[in-house]
Each structure stands twice: as C-alpha cells, then as structure tokens.
Amino acid sequence: MKLPVPWRHLVLALAVVLVWGTNFVIIKASIAHIPPLLFAALRFTFAVIPGIFFLKRPSVPWSHLAAYGLLIGVGQFGVLYLAMDGHISPGLTSVVVQSQVLFTILLSLWLERERVQPFQWLALVLAIGGIGVIIAHTDGSTTVLGLAMVLFAAISWACGNLVAKRSGRINMLAYVVWASLFSVPPLVALSLMVEGWPAVSQALINADAYSWAAVLWQSVGNTLFGYVAWGWLLARHPAATIAPMALLIPVVGMASAVWWFDESLPLWKIIATVLVVGGLALNMLWPARKELKPAG
C-alpha cells in the first residue's frame, strides 16, 4: 500500500501532532511551579528572542501584528493557562479549545458575510453537542468558570485566525514571532498585577531545569518547530492530505492527560470528544473529499 506522503514526511507530521497534543499536560505540570501568566509571558518572550533577529518582518500593517499578538498571546494562551490552573482538566482543555473552528465559522458568517454550507451547520451542531455534554458534567476537576475561560480562549483564537486571514498570504512563522512583540508586555503587566512581584520573582529564582525546559517546549517546540514543520509540509503536499492529521491533536491531548495525570475517562468524555472531533472532521474533510479520493 502506497502512503499518500513519503514516510519521513508522515513522521514529521506526527511529530508536530505529538508536540501540539502533549502541550496541554506540559502546561498543567508547569503552572504548578511557574504562575500561569508569567509562564505565558516567558513562552512568548522566547518566541520573539532569537527568532526576530533571523526572520524578516512580514509586509503587513503593525495594527495586524498588534491585534494578532494580543488575541493569541493574551486572549488565547493567557486565559487558557489561567483556566488550567485548577479550573479545567488538561484532557478536556485539548478538546474544548478546538471549538475555535466553530467560532471561526460563525465569525466569518457575521463579519465576512461568508455563506455557511449545509455540512458546516452539521459540523456546528456536532461540536455544540459535544460542548453541551461537557457543560452537563462539570465537576470538581472541570468547573463552569474553567469551561467558560477555555471557550473565551477559543473565541480569541478564532478572532486571531480572521486577523491573519486579512493579512493575506504571509510567512506564518515570521508573523507569529513579530506579533509576539505585542504579547509579551501585556502578559508581563498582567502577571505583576494579578500574580504579584513576590510570586514572579520567587518563580524565576526557584525555576529548575524542568521549568525552563517546559518554557522552551512551549516557545521552541510549539511555536518555532510546529509552525516551521507544518508550513513546510503544507508547501509540499495538498492541504487535504496534511490538514486532517490535526484531528489527532485533541486525541493525543486526551490520551496524554490520561497517561500523565491519570485523568478519568468516563463515557461522557468519550462522547463529548467524539462529537467535537467529529464536527472538526466533517468541516475539514467534506470540502476535501474529492482530493482525498484515489484517482481512477
């Protein structure tokens, strides 16, 4: 059986999925030692440095970079890290945050006047059903506040997607690195205001090798390696071949949470995951079904 892409490229794609999927347990383990807003600030600091010295600034307005940096740095990751600080489990976070696809569709309908196709409505219903199952089962490990915060992070991600879309065809890695200039200052300010200088200074003084490795995993692994590798693959293969592999990210996220933190996996979590991932799969695979059909 011939693979749709060379096996080395497949391994690279799966490596990105593994890095992005395990991101959530890394965050959960790390914010036990580094306050969440400080952790987010460090992540984007090391995304800017040294990347900004090697990547040319994208030819887009500064306002686009600022909006993207605030939406992704503060709105998505800052709030996501706060939510995971005792308000929602990492496994469910990896599933719920993928609702950004749902919000991207709705925002495109509202702001861009795009027409939503019938299959997208079905995808929305499936994803909303999955979120509804989670809402009905909030408990000590997953609170209504935590769920609301992750949904806010997903909305911020969706808004960031639209900002990037309006920026046109760009080098996404350079875009993320330069936009991170606008993520760091507000995250540092919020960390000092919310977490306080004593907590910040103690975390920096007491940070061990594991803590700094976690920061680098976020900045170098998730941002630099992830975007470079994914962009390299998309440049060499049809999007219909590469993009569906991203559907494995919440699956890896849930599996790694079960393995690392012994997160419980009752039937309702499985149903919620299937509904959300099913909605994502329908939205992603239906338009690409012709490309995915074998020739002849």
> pLDDT tens digits, residue range 1-50?
455 668 888 889 899 889 989 999 999 999 989 999 999 999 999 989 88
Instruction: Please tell me which residue, 103 or 195, carries the higher pLDDT value.
Output: 195
pLDDT at 240: 62
Query: Cα(197)–Cα(203) distance, rounded to whole angstroms?
Result: 10
- The torsion region of residue 171 among left (phi > 0), alpha (psi -120 to 50) and beta comes to beta
Q: Does residue 1 lie within any of the structural domains? A: no
Among residues 1, 16, 3, the alpha carbon closest in space to that of 234 is found at: 16
Among residues 173, 154, 36, 153, the alpha carbon closest in space to that of 106 is found at: 154
pLDDT at 295: 43
Any idea which of 90-104, 149-163, 191-205, 220-234 has the lowest mean pLDDT? 220-234
| Burial label, 63 (beta-carbon count in 10 A; 0-12, 13-18, 19+) | exposed
Which of 71-75, 135-139, 258-262 ranks highest by mean pLDDT? 71-75
pLDDT at 127: 87
Mean pLDDT to the nearest integer, 150-159: 93
Any idea which of 133-142, 213-222, 258-267 has the lowest mean pLDDT? 133-142
Instruction: Give long-range contacts, CB 8 A cutoff, 24+ apart: 243-246.
Output: 243/284, 243/288, 244/281, 244/284, 244/285, 244/288, 245/13, 245/14, 245/17, 246/17, 246/20, 246/284
State which residues form the domain around 54: 7-292
pLDDT at 108: 76
pLDDT at 56: 92
Query: Cα(250)–Cα(81) distance, rounded to whole angstroms?
Result: 17
In the predicted structure, residue 231 carries a pLDDT above the cut 50: yes
Q: Does residue 2 lie within any of the structural domains? A: no
Q: Does residue 175 lie within any of the structural domains? A: yes
In the predicted structure, residue 194 carries a pLDDT above the cut 60: yes
Which of 77-91, 104-118, 140-154, 158-172 ranks highest by mean pLDDT? 77-91
In the predicted structure, residue 66 carries a pLDDT above the cut 90: yes
Q: State the pLDDT confidence band at 139, using cuts at 50, 70 and 90.
A: low
Q: Does residue 83 lie within any of the structural domains? A: yes
Structural domain count, the chain: 1
Q: State the pLDDT confidence band at 167, using cuts at 50, 70 and 90.
A: confident
In the predicted structure, residue 287 carries a pLDDT above the cut 50: yes
pLDDT at 9: 86
Q: State the pLDDT confidence band at 185, using cuts at 50, 70 and 90.
A: very high
> Hunting for tokens 């940096």 — which residue is that?
69
In the predicted structure, residue 286 carries a pLDDT above the cut 80: no
